[in-house]
Structures are given as structure tokens and as C-alpha cells.
Amino acid sequence: MGHRLIIAAALAACLLSPAGASAAGNGLITVRSTHSVNVTIQRLETALRAKGMTIFARIDHARAATRVGQKLRPTLLLIFGNPKIGTALLKCKQTVGIDLPLKMLAWKDARGHVWLTYNDPRWIAERHHLGRCGATAVRTMSTALRRFAKAAAGR
């Protein structure tokens, strides 16, 4: 009876998770976009700027591949952050700086679907063994990233 309850709970958790979103054991959250890679990143950048976030860089991996004579489906990375929130985590443990600033990757798969992928802040906190330190910042980041991804992906 206990095993059935666990299986039912796991199934319910899967069914109740946000449509189109997945969090793998590697700490990545991926949502499907209804837009092209370029439009997805542009929508993300617009949403970030509207909330006062700092855009640090935009990296076009496909363009870089072309420069070395290789082909790659559209793949754009946007690096951004809020130094006030990021600093709260860095004060807990400076190694968090390897995962900050935050980033989101828009990419097109072999079937032509566009996806937006980012690191789950809870995974970052676990990776660096932050414990309770920075818990408020992690919750804030998680909520904000979920909203930014939704705005960018058109969901």
C-alpha cells in the first residue's frame, strides 16, 4: 500500500508541474518557447531590463561556430543579474561566483522546437552547500527566473 501511495504522489507531482517545464537532476530547468531563438532572447532581454536587471553579455554560439567553419543550430546565451541579490549569495560562499551572473540559453533542437534553459537557483545553493544562508535570495531568484522564462517563452 505504501508503494502505491508513493507512486501516486510522484505521478501527481509530474502532472502538477508547470506545462512545458522540466527540471532535470542536473539542476537545469527547460521550458519550450513559442518563438524563434532570437525573439525568445529579445523578449527575455526586454523583461529583464523592465525589472532593472543588468545585461552583461549576449553570446551567439551559432555565429561563433560559423567563424570556425562549423554549423550549429541557433543557440543564444544571455548573461544577466542583479548584483544586490547575487552579492547576498556570494557573501555566503564566494564559490557561488562560478555560477553567477545568471544566464539563460535559447536553443533550437533537431526537430525545430525552441527551448529556454537556465540553472535552478536551488540547485546552485545545493551545489555550494549554502544551507540557510541566502535562502531568501534563492527564493527571490527562483520566482524571478520562472517569471522571466514565462515572459520570454510566451507561456
The CA–CA distances, whole Å, from 2 to 7, 9, 11 equal 9, 11, 14
Residues 63 and 111: their CA atoms lie apart, in Å, by 20
| CATH code for position 71 | 3.30.310.70
Question: What is the number of structural domains in the chain?
Answer: 1
Mean pLDDT of the chain, nearest integer = 88
pLDDT value of residue 25: 77
3-state helix, strand, coil in the chain (%, to 5): 50, 25, 25
The boundaries of the domain holding residue 106 are 20-153
pLDDT digits (tens, 9 = 90+) for 32-86: 999 999 999 999 999 999 999 999 999 999 999 999 999 999 999 999 999 999 9
Residue 4 domain-assigned (yes or no)? no
Residue 147 domain-assigned (yes or no)? yes
Residue 1 domain-assigned (yes or no)? no
Residue 13 domain-assigned (yes or no)? no
Residue 143 domain-assigned (yes or no)? yes
Residue 11 domain-assigned (yes or no)? no
Whole-structure pTM value:
0.83
Residue 94 domain-assigned (yes or no)? yes
Residue 137 domain-assigned (yes or no)? yes
